[in-house]
């Protein structure tokens, strides 16, 4: 597709369940980011991939959160034993490369809204 695609757009789950959120970046973009946006807040950095590897995962809140990008395109954010505090919109973004060679523009998806009951 033309833009960053995220699925599902909405996910409601119960506390303690496992959740996977998918991101399909713009074709050819090597850099992929996950951010989390809680209600009324700005997005917060979670993890950055350059190609297949997680170059920086310092924003992941704890070891219940994990993300993969096995073939360097689609990425999956995985959350184990979900808690009510995990409720947020999870935003994915991609860019042509990880550095600042171009305008520095990140292209964001519309996000996956996760609600943990």
Partner 1 sequence: AQKVTQAQTEISVVEKEDVTLDCVYETRDTTYYLFWYKQPPSGELVFLIRRNSFDEQNEISGRYSWNFQKSTSSFNFTITASQVVDSAVYFCALTPMNTGFQKLVFGTGTRLLVSP
- Binding residues for partner 1, per CB under 8 A? 3-4, 31, 33, 35, 40-45, 48, 50, 55-56, 59, 89, 91, 93, 95, 98-100, 103-111
Choice between 20 and 56, CB closer to partner 1: 56
Minimum CB separation of residue 110 from partner 1 in Å reads: 4
Nearer to partner 1, 32 or 79 (CB): 32
- The 65-68 sheet, strands edge to edge: 5-7, 19-24, 75-79, 65-68
Shorter beta-carbon distance to partner 1: residue 66 or 107: 107
Least Cα distance to 116 among 39, 16, 13 occurs for 13
Torsion from C-alpha of 79, 84, 89, 11, nearest 10 degrees: 70
47 neighbors 56 (Cβ within 8 angstroms): yes
For partner 1, which is the closer residue by CB, 14 or 101?
101
Question: C-beta of 40: minimal distance to partner 1 in Å?
Answer: 7
Burial class (CB in 10 A: 0-12, 13-18, 19+), 50: middle
Give the nearest distance from C-beta 81 to partner 1 in angstroms.
Answer: 26
């Amino acid at each position: 597709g033309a833009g960053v695609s995220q699925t599902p757009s909405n996910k409601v789950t119960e506390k303690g369940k496992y959740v996977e959120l998918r991101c399909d970046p713009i074709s050819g973009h090597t850099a992929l980011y996950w951010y989390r946006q809680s209600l009324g807040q700005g997005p917060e950095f979670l993890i950055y991939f350059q190609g297949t590897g997680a170059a920086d995962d310092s924003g992941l809140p704890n070891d219940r959160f994990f993300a993969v990008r096995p073939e360097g395109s689609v990425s999956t954010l995985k959350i184990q034993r979900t808690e009510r505090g995990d409720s947020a919109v999870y935003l994915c973004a991609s860019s042509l490369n990880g550095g600042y060679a171009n305008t520095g523009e990140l292209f964001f998806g519309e996000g996956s809204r996760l609600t943990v009951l």
